[in-house]
Structure 1
Amino acid sequence: MPSYELALVLRQLPRPELISVIKRTAEAIFDKGGIIRKFENLGTRALPFKVSEHGVVHREATHFTITFDTAPTKLSDLKEEFGRDIDIIRRYIFKVEEPEDYECTLHEEMLPPAYRKDVQELIDIAKRKQKPKYNYNSGLDYYPFQK
């Protein structure tokens, strides 16, 4: 199952109600067959602009991120369920990409840029994308389209 990160912006609530919103969110993920990997509370902050959601204008909100694994087919159900919750102002689900492994040696880093393998690959790509230049030696001793 791929990993996803849910960014939640919750309306400003007292602590017991905030805990119940987080429990509802976690239960929704569990009900869809997901596995929660990490919770992170980013705190209460002023929003960059006033946000109107469910008929109420919000200027401050509590931010959370939840990292979880679930099937991609269940994401639309989760988005719909979070959209109906009146305590959630905004919700965004992002796919967490695995960082690619990069092996680096000191010898390679000490080379001048023109001799590095990744720079050589960039030079080859640029050469392939160059357009061929017009050959002015067409058998005429003048350029016919000049005024």
Structure 2
Amino acid sequence: MPSYELSLLLRILSKPELVSSLKRTAETISDHGGVLRQFTSLGTSPLPFKMRAHNQIHREGTYFVMNFDIPSSSLDTLRDELHRDIDLVRFLVSKEEGLTSKPFECTLEEELQPPAYRKDVQKMIEEGQKQVRRQGGYNRNTPGFDYYPFQR
């Protein structure tokens, strides 16, 4: 089954209504033979411009991203059902190219360590120190130009 990403923009709802709307969307995916892999909330924010959906004007919305696998044959019916959902202002289904299901390794024990002991944080600190060494520090009297930029 191909992998897809569903970007959702929901209208402002109370928490129980939001949960029921997201459950309804996830059940719609599973009813069409899809498997939900990941679910991410991007938060609530003002929209870049006012949007009209289902005879209402929206100026704020809640953003979500769902990653799922679904057969290509049932994608059109999924889109049709999502168009009819009155809580969705906009949505976009896009195919994730080159995504293979690789084995997932759990790094919970490493994530629970303090940041100073994590390998990835130590690597970032080393890279930052290398960049400071290459730059040679800060010299206040040399702006980096071979001319005075504020002269007319």
TM-score when scaled to structure 2? 0.64
Gaps in structure 1 of 5+ consecutive residues? 101-147
Alpha-carbon shift at residue 98 of structure 1 (Å): 1.4
- Structure 1 segments, 4+ long, off by >4 Å, are none
Tell me the alpha carbon deviations over residues 11-55 of structure 1, each in whole angstroms, 9 at most, x when there is no partner.
Answer: 000100000000000000000000000000000011000000000
Indicate the residue corresponding to 1:22 in structure 2. Answer: 22
Residue 91 of structure 2 is aligned to residue 91 of structure 1: yes
Alpha-carbon shift at residue 64 of structure 1 (Å): 0.3
Aligned residue pairs: how many?
100
Q: Secondary structure at the match of 2:59?
A: strand
Q: Secondary structure at the match of 1:62?
A: strand
Q: 1:40 to 1:48 in 2, by over 3 A?
A: same
Counterparts of 1:68-107 in structure 2, within 5 Å, are 68-98=68-98
User: Which of these two proteins has the greater Rg computed from alpha carbons?
Assistant: 1
Alpha-carbon shift at residue 73 of structure 1 (Å): 1.1
Alpha-carbon shift at residue 97 of structure 1 (Å): 0.9
Q: What is the RMSD computed on CA atoms of the aligned residues?
A: 1.2
Q: Secondary structure at the match of 1:74?
A: helix
